[in-house]
Structure 1
Amino acid sequence: MGAWMRNAKPYLLLVAVQFGSAGMFIFAMDAIAKGMSHYVFIVYRNAIASVTLAPFAFLLEKKVRPKMTVRVFVEIMALAFFEIILDQCFALLGMKYTSASFLSAVMNSAPSITFLLAVILRMERMKIKEVACQAKVIGTVVT
């Protein structure tokens, strides 16, 4: 049973993440429908995530994180603004006009779009004989 659980752990975690995402979309839709500003929701969501994850990051990643320089700090802030904040802002803004299930489907297609852009911009090499590449292509087509 131990080996089965060890092998199944990544798949179980993926399912748990999908349930968590769906729950968050439903919760966000309800909060926005009751009048909460999507900007306020983003602040609350990121504050809770920071308070929850920061202790784990400090304890578990202490030896592998880079030294905090001005450049690293600017990169972190740019990534936080352009990826996380704008992504959440546009997603929650779009939620006003669509449903949580539509938003969930669109958000789940993001890896496929990223893969397509990486192939088009030649950042990803297509070696179609490799199993990993075949899996990426099949996943992109299915999505």
Structure 2
Amino acid sequence: MELFHKLKHFLAVVFLQLGFAGIDILRKKALNRGMSIYVLLVYRQAIATLVIAPFAFFLEKDRPKMTLSIFIRLMGLGLLESVDQNMYYLGMKHTTATFAAAMRNIIPAITFVIAWIV
């Protein structure tokens, strides 16, 4: 049992990466069968909303009042996420799921380099 406690974080990361790889394979299969990247994006956003919204509604009782500034920021983040996912799916459509999964792991390094340059 002590070994499990030492390895649980490592195992969590391994299973998370396996989950990402599995989802990438399913998305690539859907794209290869002719699904539009826009339809795939809408499905992804709708499922994420249905899964996360109840947690936000019931667990976040002490939330700030929705102001115009907060609303604009949320809409901006939503738009940027949609653009990001569109580019990701477009790239996946023209490459392999393996390449897309590998590129996901490079994002922290690219972020570091951009932060270092700026």
TM-score range for the pair, normalised by the shorter chain length: 0.7 to 0.9
Alpha carbons of 1:16 and 1:57: their partners in 2 closer, same or farther (altered >3 Å)?
Answer: farther
For 1:15, give the aligned amino acid: V
Answer yes or no: is 1:48 the counterpart of 2:61: no
TM-score where L is the length of structure 2 = 0.87
Supply the distance in 1 between the matched residues of 2:50 and 2:77 (Cα, whole angstroms): 19
Q: What is the CA deviation profile of residues 25-54 of structure 1, one whole-angstrom value per residue up to 9, with x for unaligned ones?
A: 101100011111010000001101110111
Alignment of 1:1-143 (within 5 A): 1=1, 4-5=4-5, 8-63=7-62, 65-82=63-80, 84-121=81-118
Say how many residue pairs are matched.
Answer: 118
Percent same amino acid at aligned positions? 46
**Amino acid aligned to 1:75:** R
Amino acid at match of 1:103: A
Residue segments in structure 1 that go unaligned for 5+ positions in a row: 122-143
Structure 2 residue ranges without an equivalent (≥5): none
RMSD in angstroms over aligned alpha carbons?
2.0
Distance 1:58 1:66 in 2: 13
* TM-score, with length taken from structure 1: 0.73
